[in-house]
Amino acid sequence: MAREIPKAYQPQEIEPKWAEYWVAEELFRADADAPPPVFSIVIPPPNVTGSLHIGHMLDHTEIDIMTRWHRMRGDNTLYLPGMDHAGISTQRVVVRQLAEQGIDYRTLGREEFEKRVWKWKDESGGKITDQMRQIGESCDWSREKFTLSPEMSRVVREAFVRLYEEKLIYRAHYLTNWCPDCLTVLSDLEVVHEERQGHLWHIKYPVADANGAAGGKFVVVATTRPETMLGDTAVAVHPEDERYRDLIGKSVALPLTERVIPIIADEAVEREFGTGAVKITPAHDPNDFEMGRRHHLPEINVMAHDGKMNAAAGAYAGLDRFVARKKIVEDLKAQGLLEKVAEHTHAVGLCERSRTVVEPRASTQWFCKMKPLAEPAIAAVERGEIRIVPDNRREEYFNWMRNIRDWTLSRQLWWGHRIPAWYCEESGHVTVARETPAKCATCGSGNLRQDPDVLDTWFSSGLWPFSTLGWPAKTKDFETYYPTTLLITGYDILFFWVARMIMLGIHFTGAVPFRAVYLHSLVRTGSGEKMSKSKGTGLDPVALNQQYGTDAMRFCLASMAAPGTDIVLSDDRLGGARNFANKIWNAARFLFVNLEKFEQGGTRLEELAAPEIRAQAPYGVAGAVPLRDAWIFARLAATVEQVNDALANYRFHDGAQSVYHFFWGDFCDWYIEWVKPELQSEDKESAIVAWRNLFAVFEAALRLLHPFLPFLTEELWHQFPQRAGAKSIALDRFPEVREIWRNHEALEKFGMIQEIITVVRNIRADMKIDPKKKVAAELSIVDDAERASVEADRDGIVRLGMLTDLKISGARLAGTGGVVRSTAKFDLRVEYTETVDVAGESARIAKDMEGLRKAIGSKEKQLGDETFRSRAPEKVVRALEATLAEQRT
RNA sequence: AGGCCCGUAGCUCAGUUGGUUAGAGCGCGUCCUUGACACGGACGAGGUCUGGGGUUCGAGUCCCCACGGGCCUACCA
């Protein structure tokens, strides 16, 4: 480190340098030939619709923490990056952009439009790549993939053709969800439901005789969508409904039209709802569609693709559906056919992307049969071949999978994988093939036309874990890295993506696509909303990274990422994480600034901190490791184990908290403060031991911190002597606990010293003793071994307690005056010549006593209870007794 | 309609099979410009865990009910 180290850590100066270095040196290139164990993870490919948002930051932080941790533990590690073409979303973005320039995308033609989208993809994709590099993701850029690349297209066609040949993909006329804004059908998942206050219109349909003449009677039907009545082809009642029994088989004259439609009986009709009579519109309602099939009713589609009424709507043709609704209600009212209007709250289906009200509409589409795919996928999770974390998402997965319905695959879009199906213009036959066929497979005609539609974008995403590794070829990558180890993504795409990968993965490869899925929380705004760019509630990660530093952002997210709960990011939290980075920076600053002084005595950094020197720590003076060193290494060991355990269970917040507490609380607040004088000691041997141990702990701490704060730790790691050719801390080892680090005794002993110092400080603060004024103190410890240990570290206690002197004995406190406080293990008296605030002191003592009495009381009561003694485990009883014994003294 | 989750300090949240006086960060109060760090240090005040009932020797932790908030699935027109 140079002499002029800034006092405050400035991530902006440091981060870009390493971000570039990591990419340029290709440090994270995976080697499929490297020995196991393997850790492989594929990125949830971000949509090329714009740039990374704060949700991605969380995703990528967690993935990168896991990746770096595994890599440092020596695993054969692959983090595969890539992006998703995001069919509907990306098309919408470009359509909107064109519209802003006054261009209707349809006038451009398909080919030109696709060109425009590719151009956008390059820009947006480039931006995302830049962002990912900026935030230091340790992925293998040589293996980057894009879901719509020619390579991925081949895989998609392969998968489609296989499923078609297996009769799992089929084309059918069915009722689907239509978005009049996106102008495409949607799968059920892309329709979101929203409770809305609406109306239930009760409409009178005149009963007609066989000739269509009205007989003065009416059947009243209730509907929430009056405009669809123009497409009614029947009225249905329950077969056992007494009210309507004699009308079954008769007809009604459909108002506003010339048509006469039958009254049919079907058990699906709920007698309790509305009037018990239902208008049936097979072309515009899922229930009605089914009923229409059962009763062979005609379908009359009354709406065009853009949500306007079509020619079949007669006088209402050309009107927007909601305008038509209003007009129809008015007309009915005018004709006296509107019986009443009731308030009615119901769930309205909206297009996930455009928020437009989705129109159920019968059309011919491609579908994927899901039940046969779902069964093995359910079984795999049941058998534990895939672990879903957190647990409760497992149930959600099962619920959805067990009730799965067929997947509408085709989309009326231009941006996406074109469906590999060709229609013969002569015979009408369909040819589904991997490559463009020359002639019709059935009749041999060369007059073919490819299906204009594209596939749901999630179809290619569903193949991602194996398409990216070279499947269907048996590549080295596929052999080595599939099944992938872990998938980390948000729970909001459990069904869209995760479930489908599991189904398609098992179906095509015979193996699960990943061994575990960790579903993380979502990042929300302060008011609890899901962050969204469109609502302006999104936070810009680039700006935040700039302001606080990427490391701080990562650490902040990690420390809040408790499984199962959403994250609310705040400036306060980010500031706290930034402060932590600054603390680490300054600890390093302390080391190197002091080292300069020490080096003047002729000792070089190499002798104190070379890798082989560090490996032998902790060092002792004349063979004895000083207590503070034994203690910090024991704490380091415990922390390493806590972090390993936390990360193994995706408990990022626990891991983050452990390292925070260790570095700030133990290392900085106690350890550095304790060794300060040793570092410039006259006694050369002690000084060298202090330096060596300090460097060893600090360097190990950097490696421990690295997965969380990669930039800062990389920067500081390079300030240490490293093995020849060592390029990065990211390729160094995660700290491994050495047996001699573990030291329960040191933890106990140093803990007692900390307690003594804390009591001294307490007294000083309570008595308002001038912090700069040193005072005398006296300590009494009954236990010989404990007393000896404390005596050995008397100097430290004196220094950190700001004492002039500390008398230690095993007898009762000899001196008088001053303030006395007692704990289970020791009594302490601090000289205090001023008048003690008796009232305050006795209030404090009284409060202490009160708490203690309560604690003792409850324990005595418990221990006195025979049922407790006989039923509680012995361990608990003994621990209770031990504490009670202490508290009584 | 069915299912799930949450309600713990002023704020945001931890609290893994029930077990000693319930934790963190921020905020707050007192003191400290001591040469790593004021993005700092020392010390401290704040919760009885939404309410009620139950199981248990023992419950923030398990069960039931109520209230409050959120989410997901769902073709009652």
ipTM of the complex: 0.95
Confirm whether any atom of chain B, the nucleic acid strand, is less than 7 Å from CB of A761.
Answer: yes
C-alpha span between A546 and A117 (Å, rounded): 30
For residue A689, give every residue at least 6 positions away whose Cβ sits within 8 Å of its Cβ, in sequence order, or none.
A619, A620, A621, A626, A629, A678
Q: Bigger pLDDT: A212 or A791?
A: A791
Cis-peptide, bond into residue A390, ω within 30° of zero: yes
The dihedral sign for the CA sequence A348, A351, A355, A356: negative
Placement of tokens 């994709």 in the chain: A125
Is the model's pLDDT at A526 over the cut of 80?
Answer: no
CA–C1' distance A296–B43 (Å)? 84
Q: Which nucleotide is nearest to A800 (CA to C1')?
A: B42
Is A364 in a helix, a strand, or coil? Answer: strand
Using alpha carbons, select from A488, A437, A484 the residue that is nearest to residue A465: A484
CA–C1' distance A666–B60 (Å)? 29
C-alpha span between A57 and A553 (Å, rounded): 8
Is A415 in a helix, a strand, or coil? Answer: coil
- Is A109 exposed, middle or buried, given 0-12, 13-18 or 19+ CB atoms closer than 10 A? exposed
Is the model's pLDDT at A882 over the cut of 90?
Answer: no
Using alpha carbons, select from A289, A293, A262, A294 the residue that is nearest to residue A277: A262
For residue A701, give every residue at least 6 positions away whose Cβ sits within 8 Å of its Cβ, in sequence order, or none.
A636, A659, A662, A663, A667
Q: Which of A180-189, A600-609, A674-683 has the lowest mean pLDDT?
A: A600-609
Residue nearest to nucleotide B72 (CA to C1'): A396
The pLDDT value recorded for residue A836 is: 65
Q: Of chain A residues 526-545, which have a beta carbon within 7 Å of strand B?
A: 528
pLDDT band at A2 (very low <50, low <70, confident <90, very high): very low
Confirm whether any atom of chain B, the nucleic acid strand, is less than 7 Å from CB of A849.
Answer: no
Q: For residue A346, what are the CA distances in angstroms to A66, A224, A333, A380?
A: 44, 9, 23, 37
The dihedral sign for the CA sequence A254, A257, A260, A266: negative
C-alpha span between A181 and A309 (Å, rounded): 15
The pLDDT value recorded for residue A1 is: 44
Confirm whether any atom of chain B, the nucleic acid strand, is less than 7 Å from CB of A872.
Answer: yes
Distance of CA A505 to the CA centre of its chain: 22
Number of H helices, E strands in chain A: 30, 29
- Is A379 exposed, middle or buried, given 0-12, 13-18 or 19+ CB atoms closer than 10 A? exposed
**Tens of pLDDT along A593-642?**
888 888 777 788 888 989 999 999 899 988 899 999 999 999 999 999 99
Using alpha carbons, select from A868, A888, A887 the residue that is nearest to residue A877: A868
Structure tokens given for A539: 């936070």
Confirm whether any atom of chain B, the nucleic acid strand, is less than 7 Å from CB of A562.
Answer: yes
Q: Which nucleotide is nearest to A870 (CA to C1')?
A: B57
Give the mean model confidence (pLDDT) for residues A522-532: 61
Is the model's pLDDT at A71 over the cut of 90?
Answer: yes
**Tens of pLDDT along A828-871?**
988 877 766 666 677 777 777 776 776 777 677 777 777 777 77
**C-alpha count within 13 angstroms, C-beta hemisphere, residue A381:** 25
What is the number of other CB atoms lying within 10 angstroms of the CB of residue A161?
17
Q: Which nucleotide is nearest to A491 (CA to C1')?
A: B72
pLDDT band at A758 (very low <50, low <70, confident <90, very high): very high
C-alpha span between A805 and A816 (Å, rounded): 16
Q: What distance, in Å, lies between the first and last C-alpha atoms of chain A? A: 53
pLDDT band at A414 (very low <50, low <70, confident <90, very high): very high
Give the mean model confidence (pLDDT) for residues A426-434: 91
**SS3 for A322-340, per residue?**
HHHHHHHHHHHHHCCCEEE
Cβ proximity of A798 and A811 under 8 Å: no
pLDDT band at A537 (very low <50, low <70, confident <90, very high): low
Confirm whether any atom of chain B, the nucleic acid strand, is less than 7 Å from CB of A603.
Answer: no
pLDDT band at A255 (very low <50, low <70, confident <90, very high): confident
Confirm whether any atom of chain B, the nucleic acid strand, is less than 7 Å from CB of A384.
Answer: no
CA–C1' distance A564–B36 (Å)? 38
CA–C1' distance A767–B28 (Å)? 22
Using alpha carbons, select from A605, A763, A625 the residue that is nearest to residue A699: A605
C-alpha span between A609 and A700 (Å, rounded): 11
C-alpha span between A349 and A357 (Å, rounded): 6
Confirm whether any atom of chain B, the nucleic acid strand, is less than 7 Å from CB of A391.
Answer: no
- Determine which helix (DSSP H) or strand (DSSP E) holds A714, and give its type and residue range: helix A710-717
The dihedral sign for the CA sequence A786, A788, A792, A796: positive
Q: Bigger pLDDT: A527 or A217?
A: A217
CA–C1' distance A44–B37 (Å)? 39
CA–C1' distance A860–B52 (Å)? 30
CA–C1' distance A867–B17 (Å)? 23
**Tens of pLDDT along A147-182?**
999 999 999 999 999 999 999 999 999 999 999 988
CA–C1' distance A402–B2 (Å)? 14
The pLDDT value recorded for residue A449 is: 93
The pLDDT value recorded for residue A213 is: 62
C-alpha span between A517 and A529 (Å, rounded): 25
The pLDDT value recorded for residue A887 is: 62
In degrees and rounded to multiples of 5, residue A10 shows phi and psi of -120, 90
Integer-rounded Cα Rg, in Å, for chain A is 37
Cβ proximity of A366 and A410 under 8 Å: yes
pTM of this prediction? 0.93
**Tens of pLDDT along A288-319?**
998 998 889 999 999 998 889 989 888 888 98
User: What DSSP string runs through A626-650?
Assistant: -HHHHHHHHHHHHHHHHHHHHHHTT
Share above pLDDT 90 across residues of chain A, in percent, rounded to a whole number: 57
CA–C1' distance A72–B20 (Å)? 39
**Tens of pLDDT along A452-506?**
999 999 999 999 999 999 999 999 999 999 999 999 998 889 999 999 999 999 9
Q: What is the largest CA-CA distance in chain A?
A: 120
Question: Which nucleotides of strand B lie within 7 A of protein CB?
Answer: 3-6, 12-16, 19-21, 24-27, 30-44, 56-58, 69-70, 72-77
C-alpha span between A80 and A467 (Å, rounded): 12
Structure tokens given for A704: 């421990």
- Is A138 exposed, middle or buried, given 0-12, 13-18 or 19+ CB atoms closer than 10 A? buried
Q: Which nucleotide is nearest to A223 (CA to C1')?
A: B77
Residue nearest to nucleotide B39 (CA to C1'): A579
The dihedral sign for the CA sequence A388, A390, A396, A400: negative
Helices (H), A600-626: 605-609, 611-614
Structure tokens given for A504: 């398609």
Q: Which of A213-222, A672-681, A751-760 has the lowest mean pLDDT?
A: A213-222
Q: Bigger pLDDT: A53 or A815?
A: A53
**Tens of pLDDT along A314-367?**
888 898 999 999 999 999 899 888 888 888 888 888 888 888 899 999 899 999
C-alpha span between A590 and A382 (Å, rounded): 54
Buried b (16+ CB within 10 A) or exposed e, A182-216: bbbbbbebbbeeeeeeebbbbbbbbbbeeeeeeee
Confirm whether any atom of chain B, the nucleic acid strand, is less than 7 Å from CB of A29.
Answer: no
Q: Which of A138-142, A268-272, A430-434, A651-655 has the lowest mean pLDDT?
A: A268-272
Q: For residue A436, what are the CA distances in angstroms to A307, A421, A496, A694, A716?
A: 34, 9, 29, 68, 57
C-alpha span between A721 and A609 (Å, rounded): 6
Task: Share the mean pLDDT of chain A.
Answer: 89
What is the number of other CB atoms lying within 10 angstroms of the CB of residue A794?
16
Cβ proximity of A514 and A487 under 8 Å: yes
Cβ proximity of A409 and A169 under 8 Å: yes
Share above pLDDT 70 across residues of chain A, in percent, rounded to a whole number: 95
CA–C1' distance A772–B30 (Å)? 16
CA–C1' distance A269–B76 (Å)? 8
**Residue A351 amino acid letter:** C
For residue A149, give every residue at least 6 positions away whose Cβ sits within 8 Å of its Cβ, in sequence order, or none.
none
Distance of CA A96 to the CA centre of its chain: 30
Structure tokens given for A84: 């998703």
